[in-house]
Amino acid sequence: MTPPMHRRAIIAAAAAAIPASVLAKETAVPRLYPVLTAVIDAWRRQDVEGVLVHVTDDIVWRNSSGFAPAIRGKAEMRAALQRMAAIIKTNHWRLFDYAENDTRLFMEGVDEFWLTTGEHVAIPYAGSLEFRGPLIHEWREYFDGRISAAMKAGAPITDELKEMIGRPVAR
């Protein structure tokens, strides 16, 4: 049997070998991130109502970095999602990392999808969600809309972009 002091020394040594960033992530219990993962799971199934169940009736969705007006309210968001679902064959939306702060969740990821017409689109983005209780009431996403438009029109995904979106997925 390992003596108690020896066991503590082993644990201490193991902890010292773990980067601080990993410890910080593992010791903080995410409260908001599970909501977002549920939204992502629903959207991967193209389950519009499964997404909407996680937002407030007065949701404000700013999904364009400021080049288009905000989408306001659950009904308007439902219509927008239904329009998107109709032209997306499959999607692989995923996050590379996130951070939480009180009622706000920050994220970095990629909205990757294939259109029913065959085009492959991958939009790296960062954004933030504001929560009221367990529901999202403001959603802001930032990216370059011109890149998105070019890929929807058939522009290829560059090697640089492949590198950007080839990062490990957040857990």
Partner 1 sequence: MARHFETLSKLIAAWRGRDVETVLSFMTDDVVWHYAVAAMPPVRGKAAARKLLQRFLADMHEVNWRIFAHAETGERLFVEGVDEYRTPDGRTVATPYAGVLDFRDGLICGWRDYVDLGVAAAQKAGEPLTKQVVELLDRPPA
List interacting residues with partner 1 (CB under 8 A): 19-25, 28, 62, 64-70, 97-101, 104-108, 123-128, 140-147, 160-161, 164
Nearer to partner 1, 10 or 26 (CB): 26
Nearer to partner 1, 40 or 164 (CB): 164
> Strand ranges (DSSP E) for 2-149?
55-62, 71-72, 88-91, 94-101, 104-115, 120-132, 135-142
- The C-alpha atoms of residue 162 and residue 37 are separated, in whole angstroms, by 23
For 15, the 3-state DSSP assignment is helix
Nearer to partner 1, 55 or 122 (CB): 122
Least distance between partner 1 and beta carbon 116 (Å)? 23
Nearer to partner 1, 5 or 22 (CB): 22
Least distance between partner 1 and beta carbon 112 (Å)? 12
Least distance between partner 1 and beta carbon 29 (Å)? 12
Q: How does strand 120-132 pair with strand 135-142?
A: antiparallel
Least distance between partner 1 and beta carbon 130 (Å)? 9
Contacts of 90 (CB under 8 A, 6+ apart): 113, 114
